[in-house]
Amino acid sequence: MKPIHNTLGLIAIVLASLTTTYAQDPLPSWNDTAPKKAIVAFVEKVTKEGSPDFIQPNERIATFDNDGTLWCEKPMPIQLFFALDRVKELAPQHPEWKDKEPFASLLKGDVKAAMAGGEHALLEIVMATHTGMTTGEFEKMVKDWIATAKHPTTKQPFTKMVYQPMIELLAYLRANGFKTFIVSGGGIEFMRPWTEGVYGIPPEQVVGSSGKTKYEIRDGQPVLVKLPEINFIDDKEGKPVGINQHIGRKPILSAGNVFSGGDIAMLRYCQSHPGATLQLMVNHDDAVREFAYAEPDDASLKAAAANGWMVVNMKNDWKKIFAFENK
Amino acid sequence: MKPIHNTLGLIAIVLASLTTTYAQDPLPSWNDTAPKKAIVAFVEKVTKEGSPDFIQPNERIATFDNDGTLWCEKPMPIQLFFALDRVKELAPQHPEWKDKEPFASLLKGDVKAAMAGGEHALLEIVMATHTGMTTGEFEKMVKDWIATAKHPTTKQPFTKMVYQPMIELLAYLRANGFKTFIVSGGGIEFMRPWTEGVYGIPPEQVVGSSGKTKYEIRDGQPVLVKLPEINFIDDKEGKPVGINQHIGRKPILSAGNVFSGGDIAMLRYCQSHPGATLQLMVNHDDAVREFAYAEPDDASLKAAAANGWMVVNMKNDWKKIFAFENK
């Protein structure tokens, strides 16, 4: 009887899924403007067997930048809030920080002054707050922090600061046989503890910047210790390098955002795939529902125009930005 | 009518798969000895919902060493045959190699003398043969080579030198919701062009040693150029580092082999997963069907005994080693 019982259950599931597929708009938070139309047309043509643009499921790789593309990066990237809280926590063990930049400014709450030191200052903060413990200890710190930390203006948990249209896009792509990856300049070990729950993207599909680690036996157990040494910076021209290192194939869909030109190389790399491809560039132009900001040199928008990438203007193309919105 | 038609088709597929599942031994090339029993018992307990050892499908990560674990590495690792053929091909452009080790010995066919220089010699060979081209060009070289190159004693294509019991184990694990990864000291870009076809393991699930690459625009197209600089050595204590970097979770099943002690750290790391785990150590004791060899210090077998890992003796535990065998 068991096989028959199982089969009936599976028929019910099949029928339910058919109904769902036919009844629902997979991208309800997108307005019916050019980007949504381009996404649906692209997914339909690459998944239609016999179509000249058909792409086998194993080649359906989609790569997404994280900060500003999947979640909010204003007033500053969320990993910096984490680092700042870690600096405060560690300050009692570092009396010298009171007179040492960038820590002195950070402890006074002046992030702008702390960041005046540019990349070097950022690196010092990351090394001081993200290394010296095991990977398991760091994972627990991130999980504990993200469970309670709140965004300063919306007062929402940071995990609610994700863009609802992108959550829908990720699910829509996966329902069509795509494998979805994050390819972010952010820290790989900062993202992995929560990306599976929040985006449905498992740790092995997260590519990011990283420090070196060292294998050690502690109390008879193997651990990996996080060293104060850079392993890889997954930003700008580093993104195609990271994609090749980690994924080993070119994506056919790639999404980035206007912030620092950090996604231009990734989108070009995606476009060089020999089959059909789609590139999305998120533009932050909604000062009411999110934050409005641009690049001083407009490099990302210029690259989008020159290469025919689809610009997603949050103001007009997204019906809803955050799930918690009441607008 | 279409939904009903689809449903009938899906019912047929469901029925067919149920029949297959109930009728076939998933590991026909394994003898009914301890390793096969341990594998089946392990898979059953971690996949049985409600069992105290149940592990969610997303946590079912299995990592396999490649050389000597999934395919033959005697008389020497297959990547060395590739490098040797590349040296011969490139020799006309390098007249100085006639008097320069390790190339001089290699060109005379004396691999042993060439390897007398140890790791340094190996590195020189890899740098000379694996770098200077784009990743796309290198991929094509590997594909062209592996399509025709043959093993010196069996005269079989190298892609037939894979262990049939391990092919079955990989498929059995995947059928039970496992994600299978290669974690090899071999070159990541040497493996990826053929692992999907041969093992069913896609490029993004291959972890290996690698050189650095650089993003460049050539003829208007983005390419990655392979530089003569080591990025990562995925061997010994490097394997847990590579697993953490690439996968971001501990495996629950891990398999390595007796050769150089290269898999001890990976198996220990696997065993430190808090849930149920299984470690397999392949022992090459079959001089007739494969090659018989051991480590001078027996480090891998000693580690297996000390930690309770399952030793797989090819002679007694594998009914068939290669699919082409007539024994």
pLDDT single digits (tens) A232-273: 999 999 999 999 999 999 999 999 999 999 999 999 999 999
Which pLDDT score is estimated for A307?
Answer: 98
Closest listed residue to residue A224, CA positions, set B70, B241, B142, B77 = B241
CB-nearest partner of B7 from A18, A202, A238: A18
Contact B78, B72 (CB under 8 A): yes
ipTM reported for the complex, 2 dp: 0.92
Evaluate whether B163 touches B27 at the Cβ level (below 8 Å).
no
Pairing outcome for strands A310-313 and A61-64: unpaired
Mean per-residue pLDDT for B245-252? 98
| Contact: B222, A272; criterion CB under 8 Å | yes
Q: Give the pLDDT confidence of B169-206 residue by residue, as tens digits.
A: 999 999 999 999 999 999 999 999 999 999 999 999 99
Say if residues B130 and B226 touch (Cβ distance below 8 Å): yes
Collect all residues with Cβ–Cβ distance below 8 Å to B87 and sequence separation of at least 6: B97, B103, B106, B107, B125, B128, B129
- DSSP E strands: which ranges in chain A? 61-64, 179-187, 206-218, 221-232, 253-257, 278-283, 310-313
Q: Which residue has the higher pLDDT, A30 or B327?
A: A30
Q: How many contacts, defined by CB atoms under 8 Å, are there between A and B?
A: 110
B318 Cβ partners below 8 Å, 6+ apart?
Answer: B29, B30, B31, B163, B164, B165, B286, B312
- Strands (E) across chain B are located at 61-64, 179-187, 206-218, 221-232, 253-257, 278-283, 310-313
The residues near B283 (Cβ < 8 Å, ≥ 6 apart) are B257, B258, B301, B311, B312, B313, B314
pLDDT in tens, B69-101: 999 999 999 999 999 999 999 999 999 999 999
Mean pLDDT of chain B: 93
**Beta pairing partners, A148:** none
**CB nearest B215 (choices: A135, A224, A241):** A241
Q: Which residues of B touch A (CB under 8 A)?
A: 3, 6-7, 10-11, 14-15, 18, 22, 58, 61, 135, 179, 181, 188-189, 192, 196, 202-206, 210, 213-215, 221-222, 224, 231, 237-238, 240-241, 244-249, 265, 268-269, 272
Over 90: is that where the pLDDT of B327 sits? Answer: no
Supply A52's token pair: 């000249």
For tokens 């994280």, name the residue.
A66
Q: Using CA of residue A41, residue A47, residue A52, residue A57, what is the dihedral sign?
A: positive
Q: State whether residue B58 is helix, strand or coil.
A: helix
Collapsing DSSP states into helix, strand and coil, what is residue A224? strand
pLDDT at A217 over 60: yes
Are A22 and B11 an interchain contact pair (Cβ–Cβ within 8 Å)? no
- According to the model, what pLDDT value does residue A53 have? 98
Q: CB under 8 Å to A162, separation ≥6 — which residues? A: A70, A71, A72, A198, A199, A322, A323
- Contacting residues of B for A11, CB less than 8 Å apart: 7, 10-11, 14
* φ and ψ of B271, to 5 deg: -65, -20
Strands A61-64 and A278-283: unpaired
More confident position, B311 or A21: B311
Nearest to A224 among B58, B240, B268 (CB): B240
Distance from CA of A70 to the nearest CA of B (A): 20
CA pair distance A317, A257, nearest whole angstrom: 14
Q: What confidence score (pLDDT) does residue B2 get?
A: 43
pLDDT per position as a tens digit, B110-165? 999 999 988 899 989 999 999 999 999 999 999 999 999 999 999 999 999 999 99
At B3, the pLDDT band (50, 70, 90 cuts) reads very low
CA distance B194 to chain A (A): 12
Contacts of A181 in chain B (CB under 8 A): 204
Q: Which of B13, B257, B228 is nearest to B126 (CA)?
A: B228
Q: How far is CA B144 from the centre of its chain?
A: 20
Cα–Cα distance between A279 and A315 in angstroms, integer?
19
CB-based contacts of A167, cutoff 8 Å, min separation 6: A199, A323
Using CA atoms, how far apart are residues A181 and B242, in angstroms rounded to an integer?
Answer: 18
Average pLDDT over residues A287-303: 97
Chain B residues whose beta carbon lies within 8 Å of the beta carbon of residue A196: 58
What's the number of CA atoms in the CB half-sphere (13 Å) around residue A26?
A: 20
Task: Read off the tokens for A120.
Answer: 């070097």
- Distance from the B45 Cα atom to the nearest Cα atom in chain A, whole angstroms: 20
Residue holding tokens 């870690």?
Answer: A86
Of B135, B213, B244, the CB nearest to A213: B244
B14, B210, B268 member nearest A10 (Cβ): B14
Question: Distance, in angstroms, between B15 CA and closest chain A CA?
Answer: 7
CA nearest to B224 within chain A: A241
Cα A76 to Cα A71, A317, B240, B258, B277: the distances in Å are 12, 24, 33, 51, 41
- B319-322 CB contacts, 8 Å cutoff, 24+ apart: B319/B28, B319/B29, B319/B30, B319/B31, B319/B165, B320/B29, B320/B164, B320/B165, B321/B29, B321/B163, B321/B164, B321/B165, B321/B286, B321/B289, B321/B290, B322/B154, B322/B156, B322/B160, B322/B161, B322/B162, B322/B163, B322/B164, B322/B289, B322/B290
Does B222 sit within 8 Å of A179, measured CB to CB? no
Closest CA to A159 of A200, A127, A187: A200
- Residue from A13, A244, A246, A277 whose CB has the most chain B CBs within 10 Å, to mutate: A244
* Cβ-Cβ contacts under 8 Å, A237 against chain B: 214-215
What is the pLDDT confidence band of residue B24, given thresholds at 50, 70 and 90? confident
Q: What pLDDT is attached to residue A11?
A: 59
* Mean pLDDT calculated for residue range B201-230: 97
